[in-house]
Amino acid sequence: MIDEQNKTPETEPLNEANGGEQPETGTDSNDLKDNGVGQNVSEIDNLKTQLQEANDKFLRLYAEFDNYKRRTMKEKTEILQTAGKEVMLSLLPVIDDFERAHKATANSQDLEAYKQGIELIHHKFNQILSARGLKPIESVGQVFNVDLHEAITNIPAPSEDLKGKVVDETEKGYTLNGHVIRFAKVIVGE
């Protein structure tokens, strides 16, 4: 009850049968569960379940990622070990040709036939490398280019038109698929 003038709730008289305690309001632990405490408990249980599921998912993803890293490292190692396999297989016929030429010239004194055989093998070898993207850098008579050439020395130019140009090449340079893999070692006229 509420006192209309003071607007304060009136206290109920003490129940003497209960030893001066407040009378029971009819609430028990089941009522508490229904009033919100139970909702909080079920919410906590639900959150615990979600946390456990998230932890399990994290552990599975972590394990999958770890396996992925191991697998890719293994594949990378295998690729590096077998990277030259295709090139090596394509060079085997050249080796076979050299062996046949060596056997054929072991008993022969014909130097011209030997030269022709070596030239054929050299041509075949260059074709194989060219098919794989390897190209020689043309240097002699070209303007010196630091992106393609490495100057060994400078010499007086034999003619006026060779000043600043490559006069001689001591070691051939190569590009692989358009990228310089070895600079040509050249002598430049000045």
Q: Which helix (H) or strand (E) holds 153?
A: strand 149-155
Q: Which parts of 27-148 are beta strand (E)?
A: 134-136
Which candidate, 144, 185, 139, 183, places its Cα nearest to that of 163? 144
One-letter amino acid identity for 18? N
The pTM for the full model equals 0.54
Model pLDDT for residues 83-142, shown as the tens digit of each residue? 778 888 888 999 998 888 888 777 777 788 888 888 999 999 999 999 989 999 999 999
pLDDT reported for residue 14: 47
> Which segment, 22-31, 47-56, 104-113, is predicted with the most confidence on average?
47-56
How much of the chain exceeds pLDDT 90, in percent?
A: 49
How many Cβ atoms are within 10 Å of 25's Cβ, its own excluded? 8
